[in-house]
Amino acid sequence: MTGLTAAEERSGAVGGAVEPALDVALIGIRKTYGDVVAVDSVDLEVRRGEFFTMLGPSGSGKTTTLRLIAGFERPDAGRILLGGADVARRPPYERDVNTVFQDYALFPHMTVAENVAYGPKVTGMRKGERTARVAEALTTVRLQGYEARKPSQLSGGQRQRVALARAIVNHPRVLLLDEPLGALDLKLRQEMQIELKRIQQEVGITFLYVTHDQEEALTMSDRIAVFSDGRVEQVGTPVEVYEHPASEFVAGFVGVSNLVERDGRRFTVRPEKIRILAEGEPPVPGDQTELGAIRDVVYVGAVTRYVVELDQGGTLTVVSQNVDGFSGRAADEQGRRAVLAWRPENTFTIDASDKEVVE
């Protein structure tokens, strides 16, 4: 027996020669502000080279957890391991991490190159190596040729790239990103999601990302931790979290999910898993079915969203791909009787006692 937790052993805390499998391990982390419990006994493991996202609504504890890892806050209890070393009581500058914020925090009086070179200069890196590192970082974020510009001469997306270059130039063990795309418009945000994932794979640095945007988390992450009320509801790959939600909260927060109660049994089913059968079309043997009337129809371009009032009570939202275009008018569909069907494996029963979801 070593007396250490499994997370510590995997982080390289046993036998210094062992290459750590985890870059970050949180063990029983708790943080309060007066009577408010911001982070409540959180355990997390982030693997080396992973794009790991902490996802949750405002006030769920994800940003506080990130600040605890960065050293901007100190935990009331628990341990924070970076590469196997407990850094919970170390100041930020003694942690091998860098942070990218939503507001970029660039120096307006410095050029792009000077902004990126600031960190290496503070650490005492020699000028020749510093120049090479800056060129490498700007090439990685595709900003070569912008060295002499000031932040005010750049677009929002370009400023975000400078902030990224400045964060990766010192080759930190972990890069912490606190909603870095929140200030960008939708199209640019989607473009930057792809770029962020490319950069992470290219540099091989562990990314620990915070967002409240479910699509953003699903798009970029290797794994996701879903936060609610200071606790972690579920950790898994995007497919696991979306297709197999571990609680009612996860089912409702990550994407859209229907909640229905029948004979004391509560279950969820995703809108895109439900089919509206054509008139006279029989359900596939084994399918679960519900009868109802279409209450609302919303055309959203690629899909049409139907809200169906069920005969047995409750509603189901159905999303249908407009593969052949939207036939008819929404007004013609409203009030129409409908038979809904879905495969039983797409139903997740919610236990009322512990809120867990099981197939």
Residue 114 has pLDDT above 70, yes or no: yes
pLDDT tens-digit readout, 290-346: 999 999 999 888 889 999 999 999 999 999 888 776 665 666 788 889 999 999 989
- pLDDT for 356 equals 43
- pLDDT for 357 equals 44
Q: What span, in angstroms and rounded, lies between the C-alpha atoms of 28 and 50? A: 22
- pLDDT for 15 equals 46
Residue 21 has pLDDT above 90, yes or no: no
CATH topology agreement for domains 6-248 and 263-358: no
Does the domain formed by 6-248 have CATH 3.40.50.300?
yes
- pLDDT for 25 equals 97
Residue 10 has pLDDT above 60, yes or no: no
pTM of the full structure: 0.85
Domain residue limits, the chain: 6-248, 263-358
Residues 291 and 282 sit within 8 Å (Cβ to Cβ)? no
Does the domain formed by 263-358 have CATH 3.30.70.270?
no
